[in-house]
Amino acid sequence: MTSGARGLLLFGATGDLAQRMLLPSLFALHAEGLIAPDLAITGTARSGLDDAGYRAFAGEALEKHVPEERMARDAIPGFLKRLHYVPLDASNPEGYAALGKKVGAARENLAIFLSTAPQLFEPTIAGLAAAGLAGDNVRIGLEKPLGTDLASSRAINDAVAAVFPEARTFRIDHYLGKETVQNLLALRFANLMFEPLWNAAGIEHVQITVSETVGLEGRTAYFDGSGSLRDMVQNHMLQLLALVAMEPPAHFDARAVRDEKVKVLRSLRPIDRETALTHTVIGQYAKGAVGGVPVPGYVEELGRPSDTETFVALKAHVDNWRWKGVPFYLRTGKRMPNRQSEIIIQFRPVPHSMFAERGGRVHANKLVIRLQPEEEIRLLVMAKEPGLDREGIRLREVPLDLSLTTAFAGSRRRIAYERLLLDLIEGDPTLFVRRDEVEAQWEWVDAIRDGWTANGMTPKSYPAGTWGPSAAIALTERDGVSWHD
């Protein structure tokens, strides 16, 4: 870990991500004294603001996006004093000199957060280098999208690597900053009871669902050029799969954790032209109702025809000793009935039930790890219903709940970006994604898209407010499995 940065440089400082996540997260870190008092925060974007204008902009963002119970109002003036601003057209090399001048002495130990369009990565990196903002103690955080396929991702990574070595490159996947995702590691590797069963002998299948109730929500240009496979599966969902499936790292540090994740990603069985039809389902929402409110279909929102998928369901396999034969079902979509992100670990049934002759039905145990909207871990176990059992033994599935909100009621729940920004400032790369991980993910996703093209697959329509096309149900039910809705 390097020493803490003296300055933080935010690209895209007036964008939606900055308003909703970055500025509120940095304010929380400031209010709790978790960042150095002299850390200067410099924002840059196209908007023609000055320091005073940006501070007013940031103040409005805090009022809008920080809940009142978290709003430490006495800390606002001190936070706003940290903020500086330089207008910049990232494609214009001449503008970076003013940016370098504004950063000043902090350039010697600087953290950069880069949230920009993929086509601007190369000129931005070149401009930073020319302005002296890429020295040996400068690290850069890269927000997605990092390309649209393996080739474009490599081009971006090559451009970054020409100036910033891998050790100083922090690729951001905000799911890795969520408390429940990190609790998945604690659940697996800090509790002896799970590890003996965490393999093909003990687990029948795994489900990972990330569902959204929203539609395009102002992301028209980006999402229609991306689709759900590249927007959600390639990064968030494959990272969750890797954390579920990886071997125990020797240490909780960046190299050990990421070494084990990349082994999983490289062990994913390709879904190619031969298996795309049987192992994938794609859909696009039509008009319907979400939460009782009528909503338009995707093409109506977009304003033109499109074959972009808003729903994906996949059947994946990790071909290694631990997971041989265990299916991993992945599902993500927009305009679903509920907003939820969860991992389901379905254990195998007991080999013999001594209760069957007395009428007791035994269900296999299930572990539910919910990331949002609530953060909780639930283990479903069998218990006997109270009674004298004269008409047979009745067994019932009951939950053992760990609500993180309740269990840690005295601890403040943090936005994922609070942790990730603090780790970027302090130089800890453990929860960031390494280049070989990204490229393994893209290689797997590119094969799926090639399979869709080769087989002429287009999205099946599903009404908004439902769980996707009926073919997604068939994907699991032909294996005797039902989605956990």
Q: Would the annotation count 419 as a binding residue? A: no
Q: Check: CB of residue 231 under 8 Å from CB of residue 223.
A: yes
Output the CA torsion sign for 167, 170, 171, 177: positive
Tokens found for residue 249: 């790292």
Binding site annotation covers 366? no
- Chain centroid to CA 41: how far? 25
- The reply, when asked if residue 101 is annotated as ligand binding, is no
Does 174 appear as a known binding residue?
yes
For 149, the token pair is 């396929």
Determine if residue 334 is labeled as part of a ligand binding site.
yes
Task: Count CA atoms closer than 13 A to 344's CA, side-chain side.
Answer: 23
Q: Are 423 and 430 in contact (CB under 8 A)?
A: yes
Length of the chain: 485
Cα separation, 395 vs 359, whole angstroms? 9
Cβ contacts of 335 within 8 Å, gap of 6 or more: 212, 213, 214, 215, 285, 288, 290, 295, 298, 310, 464, 465
Residue 212 among known ligand-binding residues: yes
What CA–CA distance (Å, rounded) separates 227 from 308? Answer: 5
318: DSSP letter: B
384 a known binding residue?
no
Q: Give the active site residue among 30, 84, 205, 236.
A: 236
Place of tokens 């280098």: 129
Q: Are the C-beta atoms of residues 32 and 419 closer than 8 Å to each other?
A: no
Q: Which two structure tokens, joined as six digits, stand for 242?
A: 């890797």
Write the CA distances from 127 to 10, 13, 100, 131, 141, integer angstroms.
15, 17, 10, 6, 16
| Number of other residues whose CB lies within 10 A of the CB of residue 67 | 7
How far is the C-alpha of 419 from the C-alpha of 354, rounded, in Å?
49
- DSSP-derived secondary structure letter, 346: E
From residue 59, give the alpha-carbon distance in Å to each of 236, 239, 262: 31, 34, 41
Residue pointed to by tokens 């999402």: 223
Amino acid identity for residue 148 in this structure: T
Confirm whether 236 is a catalytic residue.
yes
Task: Encode burial over 145-178: b for 16+ CB neighbours within 10 A, e otherwise.
Answer: bbbbebebbbebbebbeebbeeebbbbbbbbbbb
Residues 314 and 278: their CA atoms lie apart, in Å, by: 9
Strands 460-463 and 395-403, bridge-based pairing: unpaired
From the annotation, which residues make up the binding site for NADP(+)? 46, 144
From the annotation, which residues make up the binding site for substrate? 174, 178, 212, 231, 334
Enumerate the active-site residues: 236
From the annotation, which residues make up the binding site? 46, 144, 174, 178, 212, 231, 334
